[in-house]
Amino acid sequence: MQGYNVAVVGATGVVGTEMIKVLEETKFPVAKLLPLASERSAGSRIEYNGENVKVELLTEESFKGIHIALFSAGSSVSEKYAPIAAASGAVVIDNTSFFRMDPNVPLVVPEVNAHDVRKHQGIIANPNCSTAQMVLPLLPIHEHFKIKRVVVSTYQATSGAGKEAMDEMLNQTISIVNGNGPTKPKKFTKQIAFNVIPHIDSFLENGFTKEEMKMTNETKKIFGDDSIEVVANCVRVPAFIGHSEALNIETEKPFDIEKVRELIAGVPNVRVMDDVATNTYPTPADCVETNDTLVGRIRRDFSVPNGIALFCVSNNLRKGAAFNAVQIAFELVNQELI
């Protein structure tokens, strides 16, 4: 086959825009690109491979002749249209949380569980951005030393909350800098400029947020191991792009910390930046232009018998969403599932 017809649902959003960029950069074999959005931006144009492509309105008829449909227009859109796309013969790669914990839907980070792609019944889920980057350094630690428990604190960029959230941070910052005080929060519950907010997604009865529980539940599903305990604290910070995470990992088996560093460096799409003598460690500013997840500050956590502490940073719109989705699309092709 020459290429695949690829629909991008939510093509005008922060994630959809990045998906189109990643399709282009990775030279995914696209025969036809179909950008889809709501009536708000249907008719507008996007750039793809030097071409000016019209954004079409998402309807139930949109998926005829489509081989792969990348969804990032929110849960309710996926709930309604992903089954329609799958019934039309497309394989859906969904970026929302709607299908992630459905036992009939594989939840895939290709470096960890590419083999699960072949179990799909028309829909494959992409994890939450905070989970996707975290499971990369965890992968060899779990394989070699069996993880008992992970305590993770996130520092999440505003792009994770969409285009309007990024604008809110920018306008609020400008307003404060100009001496006019903070603008009223809309997308966030509190002021985000020059502040941090310990609240991402809604609160649950157990006191955690949905974002925090996504990290716990999705990690177990991706590793296929319910014994890994994950407790998360998710915090929004005033960065535009790049989620950071401080991890404390407790393993069953003892390890050599230099071996841990070497194993993490061997994970595909991971780059270790770790030399405190030269102030080498990752920050969100380092991850904007890369699909790699950056890992530093790897050290022994002395508070438990077998403990590891580390800091990792990744572009939430890339490994956290668009790049992971396109990696899954490549798995469909490479495993001859499409």
Place of tokens 């489509």: 66
Residues annotated as catalytic (active site), given as ranges: 129, 243
Nearer to ligand 3JN, 124 or 260 (CB): 124
The verdict on 318 binding ligand 3JN (CB under 6 A) reads no
The verdict on 38 binding ligand NAP (CB under 6 A) reads yes
Place of tokens 């405190």: 276
Residue type, 2: Q
Residue type, 257: I
Between vectors from CA 248 to CA 243 and to CA 249, what angle results, nearest 5°? Answer: 115
The verdict on 73 binding ligand NAP (CB under 6 A) reads yes
The verdict on 209 binding ligand 3JN (CB under 6 A) reads no
Nearer to ligand 3JN, 264 or 287 (CB): 287
Which one of 72, 191, 315, 327 is in contact with ligand NAP (CB under 6 A)? 72
State the nearest-atom distance from the C-beta of 137 to ligand 3JN, in Å: 19
Residue 88 · residue 66 · CB < 8 Å: yes
Rg (CA), the chain: 20
Q: Reduce the DSSP state of residue 212 to 3 states and report it.
A: helix
Binding to ligand NAP, residues 98-127 (CB under 6 A) = 126
Strand partners, 235: 155
Residue 58 · residue 82 · CB < 8 Å: no
The verdict on 214 binding ligand 3JN (CB under 6 A) reads yes
State the nearest-atom distance from the C-beta of 12 to ligand 3JN, in Å: 16
Which stretch of DSSP H or E encloses residue 17?
helix 14-25
The verdict on 74 binding ligand NAP (CB under 6 A) reads yes
State the nearest-atom distance from the C-beta of 195 to ligand 3JN, in Å: 16
The verdict on 284 binding ligand 3JN (CB under 6 A) reads no
Residue 116 · residue 100 · CB < 8 Å: no
Which one of 97, 291, 293, 315 is in contact with ligand 3JN (CB under 6 A)? 97
- Report the b/e string of 313-326 with b at 16+ CB within 10 A: bbbbbbbbbbbbbb
What does the DSSP 8-state code read for residue 226?
A: T
Q: What is the dihedral of CA 46, 48, 52, 57, to 10 degrees?
A: -50
Distance of CA 148 to the CA centre of its chain: 24
State the nearest-atom distance from the C-beta of 253 to ligand NAP, in Å: 31
Residue 63 · residue 85 · CB < 8 Å: yes
Nearer to ligand NAP, 83 or 162 (CB): 162
The verdict on 12 binding ligand NAP (CB under 6 A) reads yes
Place of tokens 């177990």: 220
Q: Which does 156 bind (CB under 5 to 8 A by kind): ligand NAP, ligand 3JN, none?
A: ligand 3JN
The verdict on 96 binding ligand NAP (CB under 6 A) reads yes
State the nearest-atom distance from the C-beta of 279 to ligand 3JN, in Å: 27
Nearer to ligand NAP, 144 or 163 (CB): 163
Residues constituting the chain: 338
Residue 277: CB atoms within 10 A of its CB come to 5
The verdict on 129 binding ligand NAP (CB under 6 A) reads yes
Binding to ligand NAP, residues 156-215 (CB under 6 A) = 160, 162-163
- For binding to ligand 3JN (CB under 6 A), which residues are involved? 75, 96-97, 128-129, 156, 160-161, 200, 214, 316
- For binding to ligand NAP (CB under 6 A), which residues are involved? 10-16, 37-38, 40-41, 58, 72-75, 77, 95-96, 126, 128-129, 160, 162-163, 320-321
